[in-house]
Amino acid sequence: MEAAFYKGDVLFLNMGWKPFRVGEVVVFNLEGRDIPIVHRIIKVHESMKNEDILILTKGDNNFEDDRVLYNDGQKWLHGGDLIGRVRG
């Protein structure tokens, strides 16, 4: 997310109650990784049945979505992977 945020910057996060939307910048953590990732949401799928949310992210300076960063076999982030929305 360089140009907007740099490694080592302090970010203010909030989960809030509003649904996640395309364009929002979120912080997420992947299982087995020590460092959270800050990227922008590019797709959101909400399931009415189990109230789970599926999110696809992409770094602003990356050419492709983040599926190459996700764990093997993982195509989407789930709500539990999210740490918060960047608010400042």
Q: How does pLDDT run across 15-73, given as a tens digit for each residue?
A: 878 888 999 999 999 988 888 999 999 999 876 665 678 999 999 888 999 999 999 99
In a domain, 1, yes or no: no
Question: Residue 59 sits in which domain range?
Answer: 15-86
In a domain, 4, yes or no: no
In a domain, 66, yes or no: yes
Question: Judging by DSSP bridges, how do beta strands 82-86 and 13-14 pair with one another?
Answer: antiparallel
pLDDT of 20 reads 86
In a domain, 33, yes or no: yes
For the entire predicted model, the pTM comes to 0.83
How many CB atoms neighbour CB 42 within 10 A?
13
How many CB atoms neighbour CB 55 within 10 A?
23
In a domain, 57, yes or no: yes
* Domains in the chain, number: 1
Long-range contacts of 35-42 (CB under 8 A, 24+ apart): 36/83, 37/66, 37/69, 38/1, 38/5, 38/11, 38/86, 39/1, 39/66, 40/1
The CATH number of residue 37's host domain is 2.30.30
